Amino acid sequence: MELLANLAHGFSVAVTPTNILLCLIGALVGTLIGVLPGIGPIATIAMLLPITYKLDPTGALIMLAGIYYGAQYGGSTTAILVNLPGESSSVVTAIDGHQMAKKGRAGAALAIAAIGSFIAGTFGTILVAALGKPLTAVAQAFGPADYFSLMVLGLVCAIVLASGSVLKAIAMIFLGLLLSTIGTDLETGEQRMTFGFLPLADGIEFVTLAMGMFGFAEILRNLENQESRDLVQQKVTNLMPTKADMIEAAPAMARGTLLGSILGILPGGGAVLAAFGAYTLEKKLSKRPQEFGKGAIAGVAGPESANNAAAQTSFIPLLTLGIPPNAVMAVMVGAMTIHGIVPGPQIMTKQPDLFWGLIASMWIGNLMLVIINLPLVGLWVRLLRVPYRMLFPAILFFCAIGVYSINNQPFDVVLTAFFGLMGYLLIKLGFEPAPMLVAFVLGKIMEEKLRQAMLLSRGDPWTFVDFSKHPISAGLIVVSVLLLILAVTPALRKKRDEVFVEE
């Protein structure tokens, strides 16, 4: 009954005219950037952070959350109609979705993707609401040592689940932690790693790093690729799936929803891993695996349900523990910090309007996406005909304005350009930037908790693995070590996907 009362309170917050409008804007912008390849939700959310400065924190987070799960919807439209995934989590959807479109079944593929996404989003939202209070109660029992160890586990999971080389993932984690230490030490007042350069005294702005690494770098990467859009020419019709389609797709939706909900909670997981996992599962369980890759409807329903469920449940560790499970959630932490909100267990108790209002808005946003997406298919098709070379100058211009507006400092724009070039080079060399962004966000909190734990233990480093004093911390460290050993085991490393996939 308490859960229903909390949800009712959340809906009373979410259905105010302002929040409904912000939710709609987030859903539309998310769909747009999902449809148009080349920028992604990370850069978009980072770009829009300055706009949210004057908004109410609840409304700002409702809009930014809408962009994230809206991008999962929009990415499927591009994948099905053009065979060009607008979002990395829609790579798998393109395999069978585009084949269905070529056979004249684009409408059915789009409808199945939308219905699966809505069902998965609804389930994910309910799961966030149900697990919120229990996990918050657990988190409130955490001390500084436990929090530090939990963040270590989060970084290790980001290493294990990152694509490519384990050593490169570890290197990116350390680079992120290193960048987070730049600026003035709050306890001693001494400048660290600024080389006497005054603009760096306050540290590196989160938006500057995120925009450079994911916005500018993504533009550079897209410009070097030759555009080849296999746009389905025939008109999209029959946007309602048949009864046979629903019977075939329903089990895949259920399995994808369950798998995505679990993987979304894991640090380092997220929508991309969920989509790939769901597709592999459906192919193995199918009685006709030979149809996959040729237009199997389960190959659309499973991954689309999984990536949307994961997009919803990835908010669970963020809201309850303060740990961002992926790069997008790391950007959300940045948004919370801008508004003076400390992510973690205190959100539910101190800011129930924000916590429950955000959860309620997720269901409203998912409903909006189903209602607005299918009727607007014709508009998305026309937008897909716009060449990327005509889009990127506008994207670059608005990115630069967004960065400059934070502190009104030209140096911030120059620094963003530097990080853009750095991000582009890292991608070319096979380094994945996402773990670095997660480490950058957690770095300052980890340092604070490390200092607190060391003060309480009188400088004893074994306090983190002392089962008698800190069993939670010791258990988390043991799990972290075991995961790291598994990650560097050669037998497992050979099976790792060496193809870089950016979330």
> Residue 84: its pLDDT value, please?
63
pLDDT per residue over 144-187, tens digit each?
888 888 888 878 877 776 666 778 888 888 998 898 888 887 77
Phi, psi of 187 (to 5 degrees): -90, -40
Name residue 77's amino acid.
Answer: T
> Nearest 5°: phi and psi at 183?
130, -155
pLDDT at res. 180: 87
Q: Are 365 and 66 in contact (CB under 8 A)?
A: yes
Q: Answer with the residue of higher pLDDT: 407 or 364.
A: 364
pLDDT per residue over 228-259, tens digit each?
554 555 555 566 777 887 888 889 999 989 98
498 pLDDT band, cuts 50/70/90, is very low
Residue length, the chain?
503
Tally the C-alpha atoms within 13 A of residue 397's C-alpha that lie toward its C-beta. 5
Give the chain's end-to-end CA distance (angstroms, integer): 38
CB 46 within 8 A of CB 210: yes
For the entire predicted model, the pTM comes to 0.71
**What's residue 87's pLDDT?**
61
The number of angstroms, rounded, from the C-alpha of 500 to the middle of its chain's C-alpha atoms is: 17
Q: What is the pLDDT of residue 231?
A: 52
pLDDT in tens, 444-464: 878 888 888 888 888 888 888
**Which uninterrupted H or E stretch holds 311?**
helix 298-313
Q: Report the C-alpha gap between 395 and 362 in whole angstroms.
A: 27
Place of tokens 């350009």: 417
Separation of alpha carbons 331 and 67, rounded Å: 12
| Res. 35: pLDDT tops 80 | no
Q: How far apart are CA 265 and CA 494, in angstroms?
A: 26
> Model confidence over 265-324: pLDDT tens digits?
776 556 677 887 888 888 888 887 778 877 788 888 888 888 888 888 888 887 777 777
pLDDT in tens, 412-442: 888 888 988 998 898 888 887 878 877 887 8
Q: What HEC string does 397-431 produce?
A: HHHHHHHHHHHCCHHHHHHHHHHHHHHHHHHHCCC
* CA atoms within 13 A of residue 129's CA, in its CB half-sphere: 25
Which of the residue ranges 7-21, 62-76, 133-147, 272-286 has the most confident prediction, judged by mean pLDDT? 7-21
- The radius of gyration of the chain from alpha carbons, rounded to an integer in Å, stands at 22
CA atoms within 13 A on the CB side of 48: 26
Average pLDDT in the 349-354 region?
82
432: nearest Cα among 155, 41, 171 = 171
Kindly list the domain boundaries of the chain, sorted by start residue: 2-493
Minimal CA–CA distance to 327: which of 435, 191, 450?
A: 435
As a whole number, mean pLDDT of residues 82-107 equals: 74
Looking at per-residue pLDDT, the higher value among 9 and 162 belongs to 9
Distance of CA 36 to the CA centre of its chain: 17
| 3-class DSSP assignment, residue 113 | helix
Q: Identify the three-state secondary structure at position 184.
A: strand
In percent, how much of the chain has pLDDT > 90? 3
